[in-house]
C-alpha cells in the first residue's frame, strides 16, 4: 500500500512539474510575425537567332535585391533546325520547332507556377534581315510562333524582333552579372552587396547576321549613343552598337560575292580563304536571298549560273580580301570611328568575346590568353594547310564549317584590330569564353534581369511563430531545478 502511495505521489509530482514547466515556458516565449522563405519565380526566354534558336529558363527569389532579381539559369535547350527566319516560306513550322523545348521547360517548373511564368521570344539579326526583305513574311513567322506558345500553360508576353542595340546591351548586362560586377554575395554580411571596386567588362558578340560591341567608355559619353540601365540600385551608361550584315554567315556570303564580281564572268574563281584543293559550287541566285548580298550588279541579278570557288590557302590574300568588306575610308582621319562612318569612343577596360568569337578561336586553340603575335601566327599556319590535311586531321568536325575557319579567323582579326581598334596591348584585355559559372553568356539573361526591374517585388508572406528568448530558457531551467528539488524533498518527508 505504501509502495502504491509512493508511486502515485511520484507520478503526480512529475506531472505537476512537467505542466508547470510547459506553462512557464509558454508564458515567457515571445509571439511575433515570422517571414516565410521568399517564393521562387520563373521566367523563360527564347533566343531566336539567325542560325538557331535556344530556350533558357531562369529563376529568382521574389523579394529581389534593390529592385532587381538575383537570377540563375535553370535550363537551356537548343531547338532543332535552323533559325525561325528560315521558315519564311512555311511559317507554321517556326512555331512547331519550339514544342520540344517548351515541353522540357515545363518539366522543371512546378505545375502550380506555370501559369504565372512570363515567357518571351526575342528574335535577332536573322529576323531583322527578313523584315527588311519581306516584312509580311516576318510578321507571319512571329504570329505562328505566338500561336504555338499560347497553347502552353505559361504567361506568354509576346514575340518580337530586338534591335541590334538591345541585343548588345543585354549581352553586356549578362556578362557583368555573371562575373559579379553588379552584385556579389557577402558571407560576412549574409547579403548581396555592391562590389566596392567593381570591374565592369565590355561585351563582344558575333552572330550569324550581325555583330555587337558594348562597353562603358572612359569619361563622358554622347547621350545619343548611350544605353542606360538601373540595376541593383545603380545607374549605368554604356556605348553599344550593332552592325547588321557583319555577322559571320553574312560576311562569308558577302566575301564570296565580292570575289565572284571581281572575277567578271568566270565560272571558276579563286578563293584565298578556302583551303588549297577545296572546291565549292554556288549559284548566283543564292546571293539574292539576303539583303546583305542582293546588290544591283547585273551579273548577280539576271543570271542563275553556277560558279566554283577554288581554295588557294593564301593567308595574306585572305586577310586582304576580308578587309575589302569594310569601308574604312568613310572615317577619314577620325580616331573615334570604326568603319562606314560609325562613331565609337576608344575601347576601354576588359572584354568578354563570346558566340562566334569564342567558337572559332576555341577550334583554333586560341582561348588561353595567347599574345596577338601568337594568334596571328596560328591563323596564318592554319590557312596554309591543304584540304586533305585538314579533313584528315579533324575527321569529326562539320565538313561545312571546316573550310571556313580561315576566313572567320581573319575576319575576327580585322573586326577587332582595324575596326574596333584594339592593339597589341589592349588585345590582352580580351577574354574568349562562352560560359561564366554554370550559365551561358548571351543576351537572354540580361533581358530577363532587366525585366525583373519592371516586376514588383512580392511582399513577404508572414505567419505567427514562437520565438523563445535566451532569458526565458534560463528562467525555465532554474524553475525546473527548484521544482525537482522541492518534489524530492516532499517525497522524502512523506516517507
Q: How far, in Å, CA of 383 to CA of 412, rounded?
A: 14
Instruction: Enumerate long-range contacts of 329-338, CB under 8 Å, 24 or more apart.
Output: 335/421, 338/241, 338/419, 338/420, 338/421
Kindly state the DSSP code that residue 385 receives in the 8-state scheme: S
Q: Which of 104, 191, 181, 120 is nearest to 156 (CA)?
A: 120
CB neighbourhood size of 106 (10 A): 17
Residues whose CB falls within 8 Å of the CB of residue 441, separated by 6 or more in sequence, listed in order: 171, 174, 175, 178, 352, 354, 433, 434, 435
Name the active-site residue from 116, 167, 250, 388. 167
β 155-161/118-123 pair status: parallel
Q: Per DSSP, what are the bridge partners of residue 240?
A: 214
Three cell numbers at 134? 519581306
Residues belonging to the chain: 495
Verify whether residue 250 is a known catalytic residue: no
Q: How far, in Å, CA of 386 to CA of 252, rounded?
A: 19
On whether the CB atoms of residues 168 and 239 are closer than 8 A, the answer is no
Q: How far, in Å, CA of 373 to CA of 243, rounded?
A: 27
Q: Which of 146, 149, 147, 57 is nearest to 104 (CA)?
A: 57
Show the CA angle centred on residue 320, arms to residues 314 and 325, nearest 5°: 125
Q: Tell me which residues are annotated as active site.
A: 167
Amino acid at each position: 500500500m505504501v509502495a502504491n502511495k509512493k508511486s502515485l505521489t511520484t507520478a503526480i509530482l512529475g506531472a505537476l512539474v512537467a505542466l508547470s514547466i510547459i506553462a512557464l515556458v509558454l508564458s515567457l516565449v515571445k509571439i511575433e510575425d515570422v517571414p516565410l522563405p521568399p517564393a521562387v519565380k520563373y521566367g523563360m526566354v527564347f533566343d531566336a537567332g539567325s542560325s538557331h534558336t535556344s530556350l533558357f529558363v531562369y529563376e529568382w527569389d521574389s523579394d529581389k535585391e534593390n529592385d532587381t532579381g538575383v537570377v540563375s539559369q535553370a535550363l537551356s535547350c537548343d531547338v532543332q533546325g535552323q533559325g525561325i527566319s528560315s521558315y519564311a516560306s512555311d511559317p507554321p513550322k517556326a512555331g512547331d520547332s519550339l514544342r520540344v523545348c517548351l515541353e522540357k521547360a515545363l518539366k522543371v517548373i512546378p505545375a502550380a507556377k506555370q501559369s504565372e511564368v512570363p515567357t518571351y521570344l526575342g528574335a535577332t539579326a536573322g529576323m531583322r534581315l527578313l523584315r527588311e526583305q519581306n516584312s509580311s513574311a516576318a510578321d507571319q513567322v512571329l504570329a505562328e510562333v505566338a500561336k504555338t506558345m499560347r497553347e502552353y500553360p505559361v504567361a506568354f508576353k509576346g514575340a518580337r524582333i530586338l534591335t541590334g542595340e538591345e541585343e548588345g546591351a543585354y549581352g553586356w548586362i549578362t556578362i557583368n552579372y555573371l562575373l559579379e560586377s553588379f552584385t556579389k554575395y557577402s558571407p560576412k554580411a549574409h547579403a548581396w552587396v555592391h562590389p566596392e571596386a567593381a570591374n565592369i567588362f565590355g561585351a563582344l558578340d558575333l552572330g550569324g547576321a550581325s555583330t555587337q560591341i558594348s562597353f562603358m567608355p572612359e569619361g563622358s559619353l554622347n547621350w545619343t549613343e548611350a544605353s542606360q540601365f538601373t540595376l541593383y540600385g545603380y545607374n549605368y551608361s554604356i556605348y553599344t552598337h550593332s552592325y547588321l550584315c557583319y555577322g559571320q554567315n553574312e560576311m562569308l556570303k558577302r566575301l564570296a560575292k565580292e570575289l565572284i564580281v571581281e572575277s567578271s564572268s568566270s565560272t571558276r574563281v579563286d578563293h584565298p580563304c578556302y583551303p588549297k584543293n577545296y572546291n565549292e559550287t554556288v549559284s548566283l541566285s543564292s546571293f539574292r536571298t539576303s539583303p546583305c548580298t542582293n546588290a544591283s550588279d547585273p551579273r548577280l541579278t539576271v543570271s542563275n549560273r553556277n560558279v566554283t570557288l577554288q581554295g588557294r590557302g593564301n593567308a595574306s590574300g585572305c586577310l586582304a580580301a576580308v578587309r575589302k568588306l569594310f569601308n574604312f575610308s568613310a572615317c577619314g582621319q577620325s580616331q573615334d570611328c570604326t568603319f562606314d562612318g560609325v562613331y565609337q569612343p576608344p575601347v576601354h577596360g576588359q572584354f568578354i568575346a563570346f558566340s562566334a568569337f569564342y567558337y572559332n578561336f576555341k577550334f583554333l586553340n586560341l582561348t588561353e590568353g595567347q599574345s596577338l603575335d601568337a594568334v596571328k601566327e596560328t591563323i596564318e599556319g592554319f590557312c596554309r594547310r591543304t584540304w586533305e590535311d585538314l579533313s584528315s586531321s579533324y575527321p569529326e568536325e562539320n565538313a561545312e564549317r571546316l573550310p571556313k575557319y580561315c576566313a572567320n579567323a581573319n575576319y575576327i582579326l580585322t573586326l577587332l584590330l582595324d575596326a574596333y581598334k584594339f592593339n597589341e596591348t589592349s588585345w590582352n584585355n580580351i577574354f574568349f569564353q562562352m560560359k561564366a559559372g554554370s550559365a551561358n553568356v548571351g543576351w537572354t539573361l540580361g533581358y530577363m534581369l532587366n525585366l525583373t526591374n519592371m516586376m514588383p517585388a512580392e511582399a513577404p508572406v508572414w505567419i505567427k511563430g514562437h520565438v523563445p528568448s535566451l532569458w526565458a530558457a534560463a528562467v525555465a531551467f532554474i524553475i525546473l531545478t527548484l521544482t525537482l528539488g522541492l518534489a524530492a524533498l516532499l517525497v522524502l518527508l512523506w516517507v
